[in-house]
């Protein structure tokens, strides 16, 4: 495990460098855009351009917060926080969302004031050129930041990149309103400002909801679970992988547990070697650290047990709320049956177990039952 920990430290350091480098590029670019757009907005008396500059300023501040979050989140685990500080990045993402939301609300207020008390705008060719250049810059910046965010699995960077691409669209609307004013002397400044503010507020709310989901905990992606199960089942003796649960302690910091089904004729030494190989393979291929691997025993030489398994599986799966049966084992000598059943959120777990116990006892009255209801945590 020490080798795995060293690999984690290297990956974390490289990730931090990428986030900091990308964020610095975003800060410098956005500050330059703030300067140009603020100048154009003040000279032309355009509220839409000024609000666009404010949006760029919030983007720069967001990048600063992203850097701070990445630095703090990369701190090594200690006695007080043995699983690290990775979740700090979610708090920094929440701060970024709050900042974007504040910028949007402020922009909306100022735009409404301009609608109530309108002032004529005055554009020049130079101002139009500056806005056009800003659009192109934002497009390239957005694509770069978003790609880097996806590369290192940084929610804050990915959101910043998407926000930058959206800014380019909003700046295009500002440019369009300026051209309309120059051609037909129709001022849409304040109204465009309201639209921009609305989109900024929407983006802030979506960012906040996404971050809250990360903090609360959400259903794991089906493809991720499928990949983990495939890797685990590549081990020759493994007959099935179930109850995969992941615990997230920050981006790229996933711990997990799983139950595997193994033949009942293996020794403890065999099981130990198998589980260690699985831990290593899963980490090497996915970065997930399996901290716990439970084992289900599978009947290998008992035809009666196999027939019971098939019969009981039909009983269980006849219920719409029963999603899966696994970990089945029947001891025909001691007259015991045990298995797990994944139940949906549509049924009370206690009632589900009582229903299954009653039905199975009707067919196998001499057997003692142990039914464990599993939560539907993953597909």
Based on the domain organization, do 257 and 328 belong to the same domain? Answer: yes
Based on the domain organization, do 21 and 152 belong to the same domain? Answer: yes
Structure-token pair, residue 114: 């301009």
Quote the pLDDT of residue 108.
83
Q: Is the pLDDT of residue 118 over 90?
A: no
Based on the domain organization, do 70 and 185 belong to the same domain? Answer: yes
CA distances from 5 to 2, 15, 203, 287 (A): 5, 15, 37, 11
Q: Is the pLDDT of residue 173 over 80?
A: no
How many whole angstroms separate alpha carbon 71 and alpha carbon 91? 13
The 8-class DSSP code of residue 335 comes to: T
Average pLDDT over residues 212-220: 84
Long-range contacts of 142-146 (CB under 8 A, 24+ apart): 142/166, 142/167, 142/168, 144/22, 144/25, 145/22, 145/25, 145/26
CA distances from 357 to 11, 322, 339, 366, 373 (A): 49, 13, 11, 12, 12
Based on the domain organization, do 11 and 124 belong to the same domain? Answer: yes
Look at the chain and report how many structural domains it folds into.
Answer: 2
Quote the pLDDT of residue 277.
95
How many whole angstroms separate alpha carbon 23 and alpha carbon 25? 5
Of 196, 216, 236, the residue at which a domain comes to its end is 216
How many whole angstroms separate alpha carbon 310 and alpha carbon 312? 6
**Pairing state of beta strands 322-331 and 336-343?**
antiparallel
Quote the pLDDT of residue 9.
58
> 279 falls in which pLDDT band (50, 70, 90)?
very high
How many whole angstroms separate alpha carbon 70 and alpha carbon 87? 10
- Condensed to tens digits (0 to 9), the pLDDT of residues 31-88 reads 988 888 788 778 777 666 777 777 778 778 878 888 888 888 878 888 888 888 888 8
How many whole angstroms separate alpha carbon 266 and alpha carbon 269? 8
Based on the domain organization, do 168 and 32 belong to the same domain? Answer: yes
**Nearest Cα residue to 111 out of 188, 206, 34:** 188
Average pLDDT over residues 102-109: 80
Quote the pLDDT of residue 5.
55
Q: Which residues pair with 243 in a beta bridge?
A: none
Of 216, 236, 264, the residue at which a domain comes to its end is 216
Number of H helices, E strands in the chain: 10, 6
Based on the domain organization, do 267 and 198 belong to the same domain? Answer: no
Q: How many residues does the chain have?
A: 379
Based on the domain organization, do 45 and 100 belong to the same domain? Answer: yes
- Read off the pTM: 0.69
CATH number at residue 108: 1.20.1510.10
Quote the pLDDT of residue 8.
54
Domain hosting residue 127, numbered range:
2-216
Quote the pLDDT of residue 280.
92
Based on the domain organization, do 156 and 98 belong to the same domain? Answer: yes
Based on the domain organization, do 107 and 41 belong to the same domain? Answer: yes
Mean residue pLDDT of the chain comes to 84
Backbone angles phi, psi at 103, to 5 degrees: -60, -40
Based on the domain organization, do 98 and 234 belong to the same domain? Answer: no
**Contact by Cβ (8 Å): 100, 207:** yes
Of 216, 240, 256, the residue at which a domain comes to its end is 216
Q: Which residues pair with 58 in a beta bridge?
A: none
88: number of Cβ within 10 Å: 19
Tokens 């700090």, residue located: 88
How many whole angstroms separate alpha carbon 241 and alpha carbon 190? 59
Structure-model confidence comparison of residues 224 and 161, the more confident one = 224
Based on the domain organization, do 211 and 246 belong to the same domain? Answer: no
CATH number at residue 307: 3.30.70.1350
Average pLDDT over residues 163-179: 76
């Amino acid at each position: 495990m020490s080798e795995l920990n060293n690999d984690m430290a290297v990956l974390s350091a490289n990730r931090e460098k990428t986030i900091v480098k990308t964020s610095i590029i975003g800060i410098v670019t956005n500050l330059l855009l703030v300067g140009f757009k603020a100048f154009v907005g003040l000279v032309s008396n355009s509220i839409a351009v000024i609000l666009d500059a404010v949006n760029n300023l919030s983007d720069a501040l967001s990048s600063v917060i992203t850097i701070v979050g990445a630095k703090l989140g990369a701190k090594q685990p200690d006695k007080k926080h043995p699983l690290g500080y990775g979740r700090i990045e979610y708090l920094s993402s929440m701060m970024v969302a709050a900042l974007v939301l504040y910028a949007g609300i402020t922009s909306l207020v100022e735009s409404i004031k301009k609608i109530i008390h309108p002032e004529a705008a005055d554009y020049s060719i130079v101002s139009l050129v500056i806005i056009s250049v800003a659009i192109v810059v934002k497009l390239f910046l957005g694509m770069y930041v978003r790609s880097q965010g996806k590369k290192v699995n940084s929610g804050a960077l990915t959101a910043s990149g998407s926000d930058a691409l959206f800014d380019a669209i909003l700046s295009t609307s500002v440019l369009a309103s300026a051209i309309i004013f120059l051609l037909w002397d129709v001022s849409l400044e304040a109204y465009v400002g309201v639209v921009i503010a609305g989109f900024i507020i929407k983006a802030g709310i979506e960012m906040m909801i996404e971050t809250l989901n990360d903090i609360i905990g959400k259903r794991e992606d089906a493809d991720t679970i499928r990949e983990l199960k495939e890797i685990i089942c590549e081990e020759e003796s493994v007959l099935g992988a179930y109850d995969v649960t992941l615990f997230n302690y920050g981006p790229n910091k996933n711990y997990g547990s799983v139950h595997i089904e193994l033949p009942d004729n293996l020794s403890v030494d065999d099981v130990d070697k198998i589980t260690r190989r699985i831990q290593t393979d899963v980490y090497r291929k996915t970065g997930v650290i399996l901290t716990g691997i439970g084992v289900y025993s599978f009947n290998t030489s008992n035809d009666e047990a196999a027939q019971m398994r098939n019969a009981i599986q039909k009983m269980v799966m006849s219920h719409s709320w029963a999603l899966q049966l696994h970990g089945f084992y029947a001891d025909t000598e001691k007259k015991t049956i045990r298995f797990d059943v994944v139940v949906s959120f549509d049924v009370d777990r206690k009632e589900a177990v009582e229903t299954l116990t009653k039905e199975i006892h009707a067919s196998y009255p001499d057997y003692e039952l142990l039914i464990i209801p599993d939560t539907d945590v993953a597909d």
